């Protein structure tokens, strides 16, 4: 477990500021996840193929090379965004 102690040079409470920053970051991650899912869905519709099948068989599927790279990148991006969101949701503010 990691722990961070924050101090401020003002008398203003920083707990609400930290909470709002975490909420904003979560909203931004959720927006990015939504957009990435939409991009994946566009590829799935275009090629009538799920992303899971594309990823597991991408070497044997005939797809424009640049689009295959983009599709694979969107899949990787979604996984990274989900991991960041999961990490963010594990943060607890103490005291």
Domain count, the chain: 1
Is 7 inside any structural domain?
Answer: no
**Cα torsion angle, 32, 36, 37, 38, sign:** positive
Residue 64 resides in a domain: yes
- Whether 71 maps to a domain, the answer reads yes
Q: Which residues contact 67 (CB under 8 A, 6 or more apart)?
A: 43
Q: Is residue 17 part of a domain?
A: no
- 43-80: pLDDT as tens digits: 999 999 999 999 998 777 788 889 999 999 999 999 99
Q: Which domain holds residue 71?
A: 26-89
pLDDT digits (tens, 9 = 90+) for 7-57: 889 989 999 999 999 999 999 999 999 999 999 999 999 999 999 999 998
Q: Are 26 and 89 in contact (CB under 8 A)?
A: yes
Q: Is residue 67 in a domain? A: yes
Separation CA 83–CA 45 (nearest Å):
26
pTM metric for this prediction: 0.88
Please check whether residue 81 lies inside any domain of the structure: yes
């Amino acid at each position: 477990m990691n722990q961070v102690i924050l101090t401020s040079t003002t008398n203003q409470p920083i707990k609400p500021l930290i909470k709002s920053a975490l909420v904003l970051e979560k909203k931004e991650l959720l927006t990015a996840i939504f957009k990435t899912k939409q991009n994946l869905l566009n590829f799935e519709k275009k090629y009538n193929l799920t992303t899971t099948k594309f990823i597991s068989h991408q070497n044997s599927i005939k797809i424009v090379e640049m689009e295959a790279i983009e599709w694979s990148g969107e899949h990787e991006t979604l996984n990274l965004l989900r991991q960041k969101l999961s990490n963010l949701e594990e943060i607890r503010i103490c005291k």
